[in-house]
């Protein structure tokens, strides 16, 4: 890996400065009493071309320029769930080198089978801000009275962390994609019910339980969204109006990515020692990098999804 011993070319340095300035303006700064949690589907996060600018005949198109942009964004979160980490973890390893020694990751194994798409689910976290508290696990559905049940296409992945003396558990997922929304409905329903059962168990590492990731929800209040929220999951309200992908032309488009937690019918939440500050959003990197490229070209370098974030008070 020669990246860390070379100076970024002027165009890369300019993009990184633009991204950094925009992040300063849009995201809350780290403080002793806050926690910034992110989620990001980074498209086909796998291999990369080891030079600053990938050529037309290079594959993949993700290069050092793109990795530097991704690292600049990830560095602003205390912990971020990353979907679409692939079997080949070259890009993940480069990301960690760019972020520095204070950063670590926890990742699942690949979910085998065609539907699994060779994907892992990953948490990247800043050790100066959070620490793993011990729990990791994959969600496996129990058999029914009629026998084994179909499992998730990409197994949801849980990890628990500590911020100071406050513990929280994150469960991330990348729900099955299909042109027919009804194909996604069973996964969403099973996931929501499994998580609700977990949050209701006593003494089961569930005091501050959040779910986040790419749920492939089409619209707010459609059947998929209703299945997602049917057991009391409450998405961060401030995320309702933000676009999820760089191909959305307005703010009422797809609802794929979410950060949510459980609540009661009266609107109160079940978090025990985290307070949602009402600050949440997405980060639009399009105006700040690769200004000579189309959205499709950028999607294979940075991503087709925007990162989402939420702030909590400890």
SS (H, E, C) 228-273: HHCCCEEECHHHCCCCCECCCCCCCCCCCEEEEEEECCCCCECCCC
Tokens 């057991």 belong to residue: 231
Total number of domains in the chain: 1
Sign of CA dihedral 29, 99, 298, 171: negative
- Mark the ranges of the chain whose per-residue pLDDT is less than 70: 1-5, 249-253
Q: Above pLDDT 90, what percent of the chain? A: 75
CATH at residue 268 = 3.60.10.10
Strands ordered across the beta sheet of 119-126: 103-107, 119-126, 79-86, 34-45, 308-313, 275-282
**pLDDT at residue 282, rounded to an integer:** 98
pTM of the entire structure?
0.95
Residue 5's Cβ-count burial label (10 Å; 0-12, 13-18, 19+) is exposed
Label the pairing between strands 79-86 and 119-126. antiparallel
**66, 52 in Cβ contact below 8 A?**
no
Judge contact between 214 and 259, C-beta under 8 A: no
247 token code pair: 């191909």
Residue of 187, 213, 253 lying closest to 83 (CA atoms): 213
Structure confidence at residue 177 (pLDDT): 77
Question: pLDDT tens digits for 191-204?
Answer: 999 999 999 988 78
State residue 3's pLDDT score.
52
Question: How does DSSP classify residue 300?
Answer: T
Strands 275-282 and 308-313: antiparallel
The residue written with tokens 């977990």 in the block is 198
Is residue 304 a contact partner of residue 270, using CB atoms and an 8 Å limit?
A: no
Report the pLDDT value the prediction gives residue 253, as an integer from 0 to 100. Answer: 65
Q: How far apart are CA 177 and CA 181, in angstroms?
A: 8
Could you tell me the residue range of the domain that residue 199 belongs to? 3-313
| pLDDT value at residue 251 | 54
The half-sphere exposure of 68 on its side-chain side, counting CA atoms within 13 A, is 27
Cα–Cα distances in angstroms (integers) from residue 32 to residues 4, 164, 271, in the given order: 30, 9, 19
Cα angle 87-92-97, degrees, rounded to a multiple of 5: 150
User: What is the reported pLDDT for 5?
Assistant: 52
From CA 147, how far away is CA 161, in angstroms rounded? 35
* 152 phi and psi angles, rounded to 5 deg: -65, 145
């Amino acid at each position: 890996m020669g990246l860390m011993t070379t100076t970024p070319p002027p165009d890369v340095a300019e993009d990184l400065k633009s991204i950094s300035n925009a992040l300063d303006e849009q995201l809350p700064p780290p403080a002793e009493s806050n926690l910034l949690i992110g989620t990001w589907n980074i498209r086909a996060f796998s291999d990369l071309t080891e030079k600053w600018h990938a050529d037309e005949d290079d594959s993949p198109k993700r290069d050092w320029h793109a990795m530097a942009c991704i690292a600049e964004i990830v560095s602003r979160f205390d912990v971020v769930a990353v979907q679409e980490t692939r079997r080949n973890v070259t890009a993940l390893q480069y990301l960690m080198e760019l972020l520095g020694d204070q950063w670590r990751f926890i990742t699942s194994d690949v979910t085998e089978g065609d539907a699994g798409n060779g994907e892992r689910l990953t948490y990247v976290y800043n050790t100066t801000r959070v620490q793993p508290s011990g729990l990791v696990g994959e969600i496996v559905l129990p058999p029914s009275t009629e026998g084994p049940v179909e499992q998730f296409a990409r197994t949801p992945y849980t990890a628990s962390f500590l911020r100071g003396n406050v513990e929280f558990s994150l469960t991330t997922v990348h729900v099955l994609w299909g042109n027919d929304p009804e194909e996604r409905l069973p996964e969403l329903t099973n996931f929501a019910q499994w998580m609700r059962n977990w949050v209701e168990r006593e003494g089961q590492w569930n005091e501050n339980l959040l779910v986040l990731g790419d749920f492939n929800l089409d619209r707010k209040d459609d059947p998929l969204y209703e299945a997602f929220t049917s057991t009391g999951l409450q998405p961060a309200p401030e995320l309702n109006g933000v676009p999820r992908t760089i191909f959305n032309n307005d703010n009422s488009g797809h609802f794929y990515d979410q950060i949510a937690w459980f609540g009661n019918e009266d609107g109160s939440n079940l978090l025990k020692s985290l307070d949602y500050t009402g600050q949440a959003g997405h980060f639009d990197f399009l105006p700040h990098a690769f200004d000579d490229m189309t959205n499709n070209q950028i999607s294979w370098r940075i991503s087709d999804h925007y990162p989402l974030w939420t702030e909590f008070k400890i």
